Amino acid sequence: MHTIIGTWDVSLKTPVGTLKVRYTFTEDGGRLAGTAEGQGETGALEAIAVEPTADGERVTWSQKVTRPVRLNLDFDVVATGDVLQGQSHAGRLPRTQVSGTRRAG
């Protein structure tokens, strides 16, 4: 089972302020799936990939959002235990710092 499996409370520090998003990662038959809920919308995560690292797992995925603006985001984080840290990127915009903690239960 992958470290990323579960529900995460994630903060994205953007130039327009900090966004709070809930990410849920599941695994069914060896295939990863995920959703993001925040800013009044829920969306599926695409192209989820996991790679073991010395500190945990490096997880990448893509996501389309429409709020606060329409963007295609690419994420690159490392999940270690119940903490994740990394960044997201959208085209020419500056990288956004991403941090989160796993929800208990």
The 10s digit of each residue's pLDDT in 14-31 is 877 899 999 999 998 889
In a domain, 67, yes or no: yes
Does 2 or 67 have the greater pLDDT score?
2
Task: Check whether 101 has a pLDDT greater than 90.
Answer: yes
In a domain, 80, yes or no: yes
pLDDT at 102 (0 to 100): 98
**Residue 101: CB partners within 8 Å, gap ≥ 6?**
8, 9, 82, 83, 84
In a domain, 1, yes or no: no
Q: Looking at 18-68, list the stretches that DSSP marks H as alpha helix, in order from N- to C-terminal side.
A: none
Total domains, the chain: 1
**Domain encompassing residue 28:** 6-102
**Share of residues in the chain with pLDDT > 70 (%):** 100
CATH number, position 15: 2.40.128.120
User: Cα separations (Å) of 52 from 18, 27, 68, 86?
Assistant: 29, 16, 33, 15
